[in-house]
Amino acid sequence: MLYTEGKARIECSKSTFLNPKMAGLRDLSVLFVRALGGDDKSLLDATAATGIRGIRYGLEAGIKRITLIDINKGACRDAKVNLKRNGVKAALVNDSVQGYANRGNGPFDIIDLDPFGSPVPYLYDIMKLCHGDTALMVTATDTAVLCGAHAAACLKQYGARPLHNELCKEAGTRILLGFIARAAAQFNFGISVHLSISNMHYMRVFLSLRKGAKEAVESVKQTGFAASCRECRFFAASKGTVPCLPQRCGECGAEMERAGPMWLGNLYNKSIVSRMLSAKAGITDNLAEQLSLIVKEPDTPFFYSMPAITRALGIGSVSPGLVIRLLKRRGYDAAPTQFLAEGIKTDAKLGAIVRAVKESGRAEAQ
C-alpha cells in the first residue's frame, strides 16, 4: 500500500502498523517540532513502524539528525524503503528502545514515543536517552485504563486511582503526566508541559525536561489528588504528596469519588500553542478547532459538565454557551474545554454556576 500524508509517501506492508486516523496528530506533532525551532536538533522516533513520523519531521520540520527505532524487523524493512523513497537520511535501528537506551546511546534533543497501549513500560528507559532540555512527545492509547474503566489496571500501571465520570479524560491525562513527572524526577529532571491533548482513543502530551534535583522536586510537588462529588458535581483538587481531600462533599454532604496521584500543574504553554495555531495550515479541522479551544481554556484543574449539573438539579438541559456568557457578565473567567463538549472551565464556585445554569434554563424556556 502506498499512502501519502503531509509531504511523505509511505509504503506499508501488511505486518507493519500505520493508522491513517492518526494523521491529524502527526500533523500536530510536526507543528510542535517546528515551534521548538532549530533544525540542528537530534530527534529519536522511538517506535517508528513505517518511519512516517521521523520522515515527516525531516521533510516538514527540517530536522536533519534523525534516528528511527523499531523492534519489528518487517517495520524496519518498510522504514528503510520509506527513508530512501522520501530522500530522508536517518540512522535506523532494529532493536527495542529499552535495549538501545541501556547501551549508552543518546541523548536526543527531541523524542517521539508512540507505542501500542501504555507508554509506561518505556518511560524509565526513555529518560536515559534525555538531557536537561529534551522535548518529549508521548502517546497513550490505553485510555480505558486511564479513564477508569479498569481501576485496578490503572493502579497497577500508573500507580494511581482514576476517575470514572465526566472528568475522566482530564483526570486520565493528568495521571499520565503525573507518572511522567515521577519517572523524570528519578533521573533528576523536572517537566514543563507544553501541550496535552485528549482525542478519540488517545492522549498525547508534549513537554520539555529541566535538569536538576530542585526542578525534579518542584515538579513532583505539582502532583496531587482530586475528588469529585457523586451527587452535585462539586470537585476539589489539592497539590501535595499526602492526600488532603474531604471524604464528604462540602456542598451537599454526599460521598466524594477520589483519585490520584496526578499532575495538577498546567497542561498548556499558551505561547507555544498560539505559535502552533498560527502555523496550522494543513492540520485537520478537528485538531485545529481543539487547539483554538485550548488557547482560550482556563488552565486550571477540572470543569463542570452541564448535562451532569442539570441532571443533579433535575432540570432540563441548558446551552453551555449561554451559561458561559452569564458567568462572564458576572466577571468570572469561563470557557469551553477540550475534555468535554458540554463542559465549562471557570473560576466561579459551584453556587455561582448553579445560579447561572438555573437562569439560563429559565431564559431558554421563555
State the binding partner of 249 from ligand SAM, Zn ion, none, CB within 5 to 8 A by kind.
Zn ion
- Residue number of the CB atom closest to ligand SAM: 47
Closer by beta carbon to Zn ion, 234 or else 304: 234
State the binding partner of 252 from ligand SAM, Zn ion, none, CB within 5 to 8 A by kind.
Zn ion
Phi-psi region of 331 (alpha: psi -120 to 50; beta: other; left: phi over 0): left
- Please give the residues from 53 up to 92 whose contact with Zn ion meets the rule CB under 5 A: none
Q: Is 302 in the site for Zn ion (CB under 5 A)?
A: no
- Please give the residues from 194 up to 253 whose contact with Zn ion meets the rule CB under 5 A: 229, 231-232, 234, 249, 251-252
State the binding partner of 3 from ligand SAM, Zn ion, none, CB within 5 to 8 A by kind.
none
Q: Which stretch binds ligand SAM (CB under 6 A): 18-26, 180-188, 320-328, 340-348?
A: 18-26
Closer by beta carbon to ligand SAM, 28 or else 264: 28
Q: Cβ 253 to Zn ion, closest distance in Å?
A: 7
Closer by beta carbon to Zn ion, 197 or else 249: 249
- Please give the residues from 36 up to 95 whose contact with ligand SAM meets the rule CB under 6 A: 47, 49-50, 52-53, 69-72, 75
Q: Cβ 261 to ligand SAM, closest distance in Å?
A: 26
Contact residues toward ligand SAM (CB under 6 A) are 17-18, 22, 26, 47, 49-50, 52-53, 69-72, 75, 96-98, 114-116
In the complex, the residues that contact Zn ion under the rule CB under 5 A are 229, 231-232, 234, 249, 251-252, 254
